[in-house]
Structure formats: C-alpha cells, structure tokens
Amino acid sequence: MQTRIDFGEPFVGRAGKLMDMAFQTVGIKRKEVYIANIVKCRPPGNRNPEQDEACACLNYLRNQVLLVKPEIIVLLRKCST
C-alpha cells in the first residue's frame, strides 16, 4: 500500500478514498481542497504532536491560512481542535 510519503500528500490510501467519496457526495473536487496540518512533520511513531511541537509550527500554519484565504476551515482529529 502506498502512503502519503510516497505521494507527498496527506490522506492517501483508505483514508484518502473515504475522504474523496465524502467530497464527491457534496460536489467538491479534491483539487479544490487545501489540506494543512498543525505540525509540518510527523512526530516519531506517527504519534499525536505534543503541545510544544504544535506551538513551534503555529506561525507557519497561520501564514498558510493567510495565503490560501479559505472560505471554510474544517478541523479533523483531536489535536487540531
């Protein structure tokens, strides 16, 4: 199975297929969606990032939001909220 690292993008494999189906259901194309992460590299063992790791990347994430100017922001998973 190929991973997000192989593709250089998030949500590939089973999770990506499920998300693509959800987008398709509401009439959104995947290329119309910008996906960002609270951290810019996954912590060891693919664990959830700790607060200091998230804080270290927060300005980068803020700048992404300012540049992209999204109409809607959806937070996924506990660490995003």
Q: What H or E segment, with its residue span, contains residue 63?
A: helix 51-68
- Output the pLDDT for position 38: 87
- Distance CA(25)–CA(46), nearest Å, equals 30
Q: For the chain, how many structural domains are there in total?
A: 2
pLDDT tens-digit series, residues 26-49 = 999 988 999 888 888 888 888 889
Same domain, residue pair 29 and 49: no
Those residues whose C-beta lies under 8 Å from the C-beta of residue 41, and which sit 6 or more positions away, are none
41 and 15 within one domain: no
pLDDT in tens, the chain (81 residues): 555 555 567 777 888 889 899 999 999 998 899 988 888 888 888 888 999 999 999 999 999 999 999 999 988 877 777
- My answer on whether 41 and 51 are in the same domain is yes
Give the domain extent around 10.
1-33
This prediction has a pTM of 0.71
Q: What pLDDT does residue 7 have? A: 57
* Residues 74, 43 share a domain: yes
Q: Are residues 25 and 43 in the same domain?
A: no
Claim to verify: residue 50 and residue 74 sit in the same structural domain: yes
Residues 42 and 26 in one domain: no
